[in-house]
Structure 1
Amino acid sequence: MALSFPNPSRSFDESRKGVRFVGHDGVFEVPFFIEADALAKAGGTTARPDISQDGCLSAFDRLRTTIHDVARAIHARRRATSHILNASDFR
């Protein structure tokens, strides 16, 4: 079964400076974390990302489709129980 994202919820992780979200592979929940630097790269910028809660969540919301596409590709290559997305995942 393909990875899907039926729940639009996401949350800011203050200690790790990034956003957590969840995908579903059939009945299995697959947690993801995307680093703030990856949010900047996914947005096409090399400028220092806004690592505030509002900045990260806004970037995630703007880039949701791209982030989900990358998350699907990574999960398809390596079906792990959780994934961390970093800047190198966004070319």
Structure 2
Amino acid sequence: MTLAFPNASRSYEAERRAIRFWGHESQFEFTFYVDADALHRLDPRGLDDEASLLRTFDANRPRIEKAAGVAHARGKQSFYRLTASEF
């Protein structure tokens, strides 16, 4: 089965300094977090507030989903954290 991202929702997690989103494979749902530092790598001019991080996520969603697919292909986990090194 292939990992898909049919749900476009995402949210900012202040305590993790990350954006959370979900992927699906068959009937299974997987949680992904993209660190703020990773988002700054995608847009070095972006600010560190919630709205700016969400905008950066939205503007780079295809690239982020690709990185999430690579992380997921390495092995199934309860959640995945995407860091700056993955971009």
TM-score, normalised via structure 2 length: 0.92
> 1:2 matched to which residue of 2?
2
Alpha carbons 1:17, 1:51 under 8 Å: kept = no
Give the number of aligned pairs: 87
Query: 1:39 is aligned with what amino acid?
Result: L
Q: Distance in 2 between matches of 1:15 and 1:51?
A: 13
Stretches of structure 1 that go unaligned for 5 or more consecutive residues are none
Aligned-residue sequence identity (percent) comes to 38
> Secondary structure at the residue paired with 1:15?
coil
Which aligned runs of 4 or more in structure 1 are off by greater than 4 angstroms? none
Q: Distance in 2 between matches of 1:80 and 1:7?
A: 19
Stretches of structure 2 that go unaligned for 5 or more consecutive residues are none
TM-score, normalised via structure 1 length: 0.88
RMSD, aligned α-carbons: 1.2
